[in-house]
Structure 1
Amino acid sequence: MSPSVKQYLTIDQQIELLRSRGMEIDGDPARWLRAVNYYRLSGYWYIYRALGNDGQGNLLRTDEFLPGTTFSTIADLYEFDRKLRTLVHDGLERVEVALRSHVSYVLGARDPLAHENPAVFRESFDHAAWLADARSRVNRAAKRSAFIRHHAEQYGGVIPIWVLVDVLDFSDVSILLDGMSAADQYAVAEGLGIRINLEALKPLQRRKALKNHPRARWLEQLTVVRNIAAGFDAIELHGAHGYLLHEFLSPVTNRRDDRWGADRAALLLATVAAVRAEMPEGMPLIVRLSVDDVAPGGSQAADSAELARRLHTAGVDLVDCSSGGLVAGAEYSPSPGYQVPGSAVVRAAGVPTAAVGVITDPRHADRIVADGDADLVLLGREMLRDPHWARRAELALTGAASLEPRYHRAYL
Structure 2
Amino acid sequence: MFKKEATTIRQQIVRLKERGLDIPNDELATKYLSNISYYRLGEYWYVMQSDKETHHFKPNSRFSDVVALYNFDAELRLLLFGVIEKIEISLRTKLIYHLSHEVDPWWFCNSEIFIDRLQFSRTLAKIEEEISRARSKDVTIKNHFKKHKDDLRFPPSWKSLEQVSFGNLSKLYGNLKHTVKAKDTIAEEYGAVNHTYLPSWLQSIAQIRNFCAHHSRLWNRNLPGTVKLLSKPPNPWITDDANVPKQHEFTKLYVHMCLMRYMLNIIQPNNIFTQDLEALFLRYPNVDPNALGMKTDWENEPLWT
What letter corresponds to residue 247 of structure 2 in structure 1?
A: F
Q: Is 2:99 aligned against 1:107?
A: yes
- What is residue 46 of structure 1 aligned with on the other side? 46
Does the CA-based 8 Å contact 2:144-2:155 persist in structure 1? yes
- TM-score, length of structure 2 as denominator length: 0.53
Q: Is 2:196 aligned against 1:215?
A: yes
Q: Is 2:20 aligned against 1:22?
A: yes
Does the CA-based 8 Å contact 1:23-1:65 persist in structure 2? yes
- What is residue 225 of structure 1 aligned with on the other side? 229
- What is residue 5 of structure 1 aligned with on the other side? 4
Does the CA-based 8 Å contact 2:41-2:66 persist in structure 1? yes
- What is residue 191 of structure 2 aligned with on the other side? 194
Q: Is 2:158 aligned against 1:162?
A: yes
- Describe the shift of the 1:73–1:139 C-alpha distance in structure 2 as closer, same or farther (beyond 3 A): closer
Higher strand fraction (1 or 2)? 1
CA deviations on 1:363-400 (whole Å, 9 max, x unpaired) are: xxxxxxxxxxxxxxxxxxxxxxxxxxxxxxxxxxxxxx
CA distance in 1, matches of 2:24, 2:70: 15
CA distance in 1, matches of 2:68, 2:141: 43
- Describe the shift of the 1:116–1:103 C-alpha distance in structure 2 as closer, same or farther (beyond 3 A): closer
- Describe the shift of the 1:73–1:195 C-alpha distance in structure 2 as closer, same or farther (beyond 3 A): closer
- Cα deviation for residue 99 of structure 1 reads 1.0
SS of the aligned residue for 1:62 comes to coil
What letter corresponds to residue 215 of structure 1 in structure 2?
A: T
CA deviations on 1:50-87 (whole Å, 9 max, x unpaired) are: 34xxxxxxxx6434333322211111122222233333
- What is residue 347 of structure 1 aligned with on the other side? none
What letter corresponds to residue 62 of structure 2 in structure 1?
A: T
- What is residue 70 of structure 2 aligned with on the other side? 78
> Which of structure 1's runs of 4+ aligned residues deviate more than 6 A?
none
- Describe the shift of the 1:168–1:20 C-alpha distance in structure 2 as closer, same or farther (beyond 3 A): same
Aligned residue pairs: how many? 205
Higher helix fraction (1 or 2)? 2
Does the CA-based 8 Å contact 2:94-2:186 persist in structure 1? yes
Structure 2: stretches of 5+ with no match in the other structure: 203-226, 231-242, 251-305
CA distance in 2, matches of 1:92, 1:111: 27
- TM-score, length of structure 1 as denominator length: 0.41
- Describe the shift of the 1:125–1:193 C-alpha distance in structure 2 as closer, same or farther (beyond 3 A): same
CA distance in 2, matches of 1:36, 1:111: 50
SS of the aligned residue for 2:162 comes to coil
- Describe the shift of the 1:230–1:82 C-alpha distance in structure 2 as closer, same or farther (beyond 3 A): farther
Supply the RMSD in Å over aligned alpha carbons: 3.8
CA distance in 1, matches of 2:117, 2:69: 47
- Cα deviation for residue 229 of structure 1 reads 5.6
CA deviations on 1:4-31 (whole Å, 9 max, x unpaired) are: 222331x233223322333221352122
SS of the aligned residue for 1:68 comes to coil
- What is residue 33 of structure 2 aligned with on the other side? 33
Structure 1: stretches of 5+ with no match in the other structure: 52-59, 197-208, 236-412
Does the CA-based 8 Å contact 1:44-1:77 persist in structure 2? yes
- Describe the shift of the 1:113–1:75 C-alpha distance in structure 2 as closer, same or farther (beyond 3 A): same
CA distance in 2, matches of 1:123, 1:45: 46
Does the CA-based 8 Å contact 2:123-2:168 persist in structure 1? no
CA distance in 1, matches of 2:201, 2:180: 15
CA deviations on 1:196-254 (whole Å, 9 max, x unpaired) are: 2xxxxxxxxxxxx6xxxx526x334663129x96532499xxxxxxxxxxxxxxxxxxx
Does the CA-based 8 Å contact 2:105-2:158 persist in structure 1? no
Q: 5 Å matches for 1:261-280? A: none
- What is residue 176 of structure 1 aligned with on the other side? 172
Does the CA-based 8 Å contact 1:50-1:61 persist in structure 2? no
- Cα deviation for residue 113 of structure 1 reads 2.2
- Describe the shift of the 1:123–1:12 C-alpha distance in structure 2 as closer, same or farther (beyond 3 A): closer
Q: Is 2:61 aligned against 1:69?
A: yes
Match of 1:95 among 81, 87, 99: 87
Query: Identity of aligned pairs, percent?
Result: 22
- Describe the shift of the 1:229–1:173 C-alpha distance in structure 2 as closer, same or farther (beyond 3 A): farther
- Describe the shift of the 1:118–1:84 C-alpha distance in structure 2 as closer, same or farther (beyond 3 A): closer
Does the CA-based 8 Å contact 1:115-1:161 persist in structure 2? yes
SS of the aligned residue for 1:50 comes to strand
- Cα deviation for residue 161 of structure 1 reads 0.8
Mark the structure with the bigger radius of gyration: 1
What letter corresponds to residue 246 of structure 2 in structure 1?
A: G
